[in-house]
A and B are shown apart, each in its own frame.
Chain A
């Protein structure tokens, strides 16, 4: 597989190295000349010392035959431009973008980036998993970023305590399918009664997160 990695920071550098080790053909674009020289010395002559945001240089890097373009610079705007150009000018089958600001995720999806990776959201998810708060915990992003797997811990005041799973009026495209109760996982049936302390695992479209929160945990802090 031929992969163009744009951005020679830590992420791009290690990504390129891992891909090469796995036997893929890799071209890495890094606009900073000194950094490009440094990477060339460490990995080999795979570096194109030009700005991947410019179509001319993306073309020189072989975007016309790339299987994947991964834009992993530290700049969301650049990553978006790179992916859009790869997709629309060079018909690259798969584009992957690093999104630093989680607020930009939906924009990236809307503008046709195939896959988004948000380190911020991943770290946030890890922190939330360790520190229980009255929020939905983000466990994973699925379906190329359209769906997310969430966990809600039911506490005193949760509106669904005592209700059965089948009675919940969940938004379209959302469902709950598992409960962790007393450290044991169990599947959810329509007659399953929800109890205080349950960790309810659900899946749904990202835009339904607020509604899911309201149903399972009550109003969000910002709504109060």
Chain B
């Protein structure tokens, strides 16, 4: 049996989508990072549509984006852990997260997945998670939030 639990990693990128589940994945990542003293990088991507140039100052001015990163930093502080936070502007969230993980030579990418259903009841996985699963060169953890009562 490989002794892979909890897995050891040296640098993890945590993708934050601004949802309520962000807190959970930040806590999980911090817990798992303690054993190996891994670096943690929290990334929040602000998706820009094509009408705006990629270098326009949208994300920096966004209070919402800042709130997402502040919350992650706050959790890290209370858990006495160092966490770097990064704000990224991109056309596509999935590609930006994977690019960030590659650029930082991360060996783990952590993503939260909200439990959502489409009209008709089918589970909606979105675009970012499948993209990361398919394209990220490092290990990928996808942490799905629990089903709501109405979904069960």
Contact = CB atoms under 8 A, between A and B. Distances in A.
A65 B54 CA distance: 12
Interface stretch (A54-62, A107-115, A203-211): A54-62
B62 interface: no
A61 B95 contact: no
Nearest to B47: A45
A62 B51 contact: yes
A60 B50 contact: yes
Contacts of B94: 45
Nearest to A27: B50
A103 to B, nearest CB: 34
Interface residues of B, number: 10
A46 B91 contact: yes
A172 to B, nearest CB: 46
Contacts of B92: 45
Interface string B49-63: 111111000000000
Nearest to A44: B95
Interface in A37-65: 44-46, 48, 59-62, 64-65
A2 interface: yes
A25 B48 CA distance: 14
Interface in A1-32: 2, 25, 27
A64 B91 CA distance: 17
Contacts of B91: 45-46
21 contacts: A25-B53, A25-B54, A27-B50, A44-B95, A45-B92, A45-B94, A45-B95, A48-B50, A59-B51, A60-B49, A60-B50, A60-B51, A61-B50, A62-B49, A62-B50, A62-B51, A62-B52, A64-B51, A65-B51, A65-B52, A65-B53
Interface of B: 49-54, 91-92, 94-95
